Structure 1
Amino acid sequence: MPPEGRLILCIDDERIGLRVRKLLLERAGYRVLTAPDGPAGLAIFDAEPIEIVLLDYSMPGMHGGEVAAVMRQRKPLIPILLLSAYVGLPTEITDLVNGYLTKADDAPTLLARIQSLIPDSH
């Protein structure tokens, strides 16, 4: 299935990065909801028919691993792609998610990884 209409949730406390990813994803045909932190992201995750989550790791309050753990309990089949400036996150964190990219990875890599994780996108 092409990306048109697919709903992605992006959670990141860095406003500029969040805006850039939203624009990139919308230009690729996705619908995008954004949240500036874990609790706001979880509220959207619970209320909307999210098909994939793009989740920052390093955030104040709840880090991405904590957010991913809650999401796994609530909707275990929704793919989660973790983004981080850090390389080599602990396996207990990366085991919670379907994929992991660094923020240094380019846009085509990000889009290809998202496409590979969305159900029925092959």
Structure 2
Amino acid sequence: MSRTPPLILCVDDETVGLQVRRMLLERAGYRVLTALDGVLGLEIFAREPIQAVVLDYSMPGMSGAEVAMRMRHTKPEVPILLLSAYVDLPADVKEVVNVCMTKGEGAPVLLEKLSRLVLNPADTIQSESL
């Protein structure tokens, strides 16, 4: 019997980055849903069986930190990887996500961190930061 690939939600207001991330994750064997803002991301998160989230930090309207906090109230068990162009994120932001990484770290790091999150979400909670 074949196992269904994990369903990942990517939320980012940059269309090109979102499309590239989606292609990368799909090639790595994930199923991927995308959202161009936090409101849509939260709607998808609430109705779909999301297994992990890749979330941009800096978005207009609702920051990735606010989106992550709301996701934690809805489904606290779902791991969240926060992507940022910023290196020094506030401590309270780092505490609400499982893993933080900079966008400049690249695709191999993203795939490795996401794989660890999907396989062992409890092992990575608040253990990694920028």
Q: Place the TM-score, normalised by the shorter chain, in its bin.
A: over 0.9
**What is the distance in 2 between the residues matched to 1:36 and 1:42?**
11
Residue 16 (1) aligns with residue 24 (2): no
Residues 67-118 of structure 1 deviation map (CA, whole Å, 9 limit, x = unaligned): 0000001100100000000111000001000000100011111000000111
In 2, Cα distance between equivalents of 1:48 and 1:65: 21
After TM superposition, where is structure 1 displaced by more than 6 Å over at least 4 residues in a row? Answer: none
- Two-structure CA RMSD over aligned residues (Å): 1.4
Q: State the SS of the aligned residue for 2:105.
A: coil
TM-score normalized by structure 1? Answer: 0.94
Shift of 1:32: 0.2
Report the count of equivalent residues.
119
Identity of aligned residues (%): 58
Which region of structure 1 is more displaced relative to structure 2, 90-99 or 4-13? 4-13
Alignment of 1:103-114 (within 5 A): 103-114=103-114
Unaligned segments of structure 2, at least 5 residues: 122-130
Relative to structure 1, the CA distance from residue 109 to residue 74 in structure 2 (aligned partners, 3 Å threshold; closer, same or farther) is same
User: Could you say which residue in structure 2 is the equivalent of 1:77?
Assistant: 77
Structure with the higher helix share, 1 or 2: 2
Q: Which residue of 1 aligns with 2:51?
A: 51
On the 8 A contact 1:4/1:29 being kept in 2, the answer is: no
TM-score, normalised to structure 2, is 0.88
Other structure's SS at 1:104 match: helix
